[in-house]
Amino acid sequence: MTTDQENAYLKTENFFLKTKIDELEELVRALQRNRFASKSESLNHPGMKSLFHDEAETAEPTFPEKKKVRSYSRSTARKPIPEDLPRENIYLDLPEAEKVCSCCSEPMQQVSEKISEKLHIKPRRLSVHRFIKPVYGCKKCETVKQAKMPAHRLSRPSVTLESLAYLAYSKYAEGLPLYRIEKSLKADNVELGRDKMSRWMIQIAGKLFPIKDLLHQKLLESSMVAMDETSFQVLKEKDRPADRKSYVLVQTREGPPGQKITVFHYEKSRAKATIEKYLDGFSGSFLTDGLGVYQTFSNENSQVSHGGCWAHARRKFADAAKGKKNRVVAAKQMLLLIKDLFKAEKEIVCCDVDGKLEKRAKDCKPIIDKIHDLLAKGLVSYPANSLTGKAFKYLDNQWDYLTRFLEYPHLIIHNNYVERQIKPFVLGRKAWLFADSERGAHASATLYSLVNTAIENGLQPYEYLCFALRGVAEGKSVEKLLPFNS
C-alpha cells in the first residue's frame, strides 16, 4: 500500500469513526435525558429554546408574531360543593345562658342563621346484608313456601353484586391490585383472599362479556376506528414460557356524541391474523401508529383507508430537537410546521364531511407542502443514524399514511385519543404487574372495556357496573345494558 493510499484509507476510517462517535454521544445524551430530564415535548420547554438568533432568522417557517393578550386575574373563589351530595345538618347553638344581651340583659331573639358548608369524607363502611326469609307451610298438605333470593347468577358467592362491582371498580378504574384490596379489607377484620376475589372477577367478566362483544360489533359499524396496543405479561399461557410477551389491543371510536366506545382484547401476538380477527367485516377509515403490521393489513384490504399519526411523527422531532446543536434547527422548524398543522386541523374537525375536505385543501395542504419540502432537504442533510436523520426517515416512511387525511374526511391526524384510553391499563399494570392465567387476562380485557366506555360516556363506573351486573342477573337484553343506553 502506497503512502497516498494509506492516507486515503486513514481519512475514510477517521470520518466513519467520528460519525460513530457523534452517534454514540447523541445516544448517551438521549438516555440521560430520558433518565433524568423532564419528558415535556412543549416548544416552550427550556430544552427547546437553544436556537441561535442567526439560525432563527434563516429558519423557515419563522416564529409567529407575538400578540398582545389582555391580562386578567385568576379567580381564587372556591368552586361550590355539588348540590346532589346529601346534606347533614349540624346545629351549633348558643347555650341558654348566653342568649342574653350583654348590654341590657334582655333575652335575645333569633333574627337569622348563617350556614357554611364543608365537605365531609367518611372512610369505607362495611355492612352485612342478612336475608331473612319467612317459611310458610300448609299443615294439611305439608308443603312449604319461601321467597327466592335476589337474582345473582354466580355460584353461591358470599358477597352482594354491589360488592363485586366495588371490587371490579377498585381494580380496573382505580388501579388497585387485589392484594392491596385484601390488605385493606383485613384492616376491617374482613378475611377475603385475593384468590377468591380473582375467581369472582373472572366469573363476572364471563357474565358481562356479551356487553363487550356487542360494543365491539357496534364499533365495527363506525366510519372510523382507531387502534393501538401495549404489552401484557401473562404467566400461565399454554405452550409458552412465563416471560413471553403478550399484548392488549385497544380499539376506539370517539363518536357519535354520547356513544363513545373503547374495547380491549387480550392476544398472544400482534400478528396480521390478530388484526384481521378484530377488524373482520370493517370498512372505513382506520387510524394507527407506524407499526408495520397495520400497514400490511391495510394494503391487503381495499375497504380500509389507513391513516397515520402525526403525534408519533412529531415525537421523533421533539427528541431530535434536544440533540446536537448543529442538527436541531431543522427539527425545530419541523415542530413549528406540525404545530401549525395541528392548529389548522383543530378548527376543521367540527366541520361536516364535505366541509372538512374543502377546508383541509385550503388550510392544511399548504402546510403539508412546506413539510414535504423540509423533508426532502432533511433526508440528504443529516446522518441516517442521528436522531434528526431517524426522524426524517420515519416521516418519509409514513408519508403516504400521514397525508391520507387530506383525501378521507373521517380520518383525524393523530391517535392521541386511543393512547389516552390505554393509560388506565398501563397505570394499573404498574401495580398488579401481570395476569396469572389466560382466563384472567381475558377477564381484565372485558372489565377494562366496560369501565373505560362507561367513563367516556360520562357514567360513574361503579354505578354502571352495579347496573350491568343487576341487569344480567335479571335477564335484561344486552342492548339495554350498553353504557350509553343505561
pLDDT digits 0-9 by tens, 207-233? 999 999 999 999 999 999 999 999 999
pTM of the entire predicted model: 0.82
The more confidently predicted of residues 214 and 20 is 214
pLDDT category at 44 given cuts 50, 70, 90 is: low
Q: Which carries the bigger pLDDT value, residue 318 or residue 66?
A: 318
Task: Work out the percent of the chain whose per-residue pLDDT is above 90.
Answer: 55
User: Which residues, in sequence order, are CB contacts of 242 under 8 Å at separation 6+?
Assistant: 233, 235, 236
pLDDT band for position 399 (50/70/90)? very high
Count of residues in the chain: 486
pLDDT score, position 1: 72
Confidence of residue 423 (pLDDT cuts 50, 70, 90): very high
pLDDT value of position 64? 43
End-to-end CA distance of the chain: 84
Residue 56, pLDDT > 50, answer no
DSSP state letters, 132-198? ----EEETTTTEEE-PPPPP--SSS-SS-HHHHHHHHHHHHTT---HHHHHHHHHTTT----HHHHH
Written as nine digits, the cell of 131 is 336475608
449: Cα within 13 Å, side-chain hemisphere: 31
Can you give the pLDDT at residue 28? 81
Grade residue 41 by pLDDT with cuts at 50, 70 and 90.
low
User: Do 150 and 157 form a contact (C-beta atoms < 8 A)?
Assistant: no
- What is the four-CA torsion angle of 231, 233, 236, 242, rounded to 10 degrees? 110
| Per-residue model confidence (pLDDT) at position 50 | 44
Pairing of strands 136-138, 143-145: antiparallel
Quick one: cell of 177?
391490585
Q: Are 47 and 324 in contact (CB under 8 A)?
A: no
Percent of the chain at pLDDT exceeding 70: 90
What pLDDT is stored for residue 394 in this prediction? 95
Give residue-wise pLDDT tens across range 117-170.
888 877 777 888 888 888 888 888 888 888 887 776 565 668 889 999 999 999
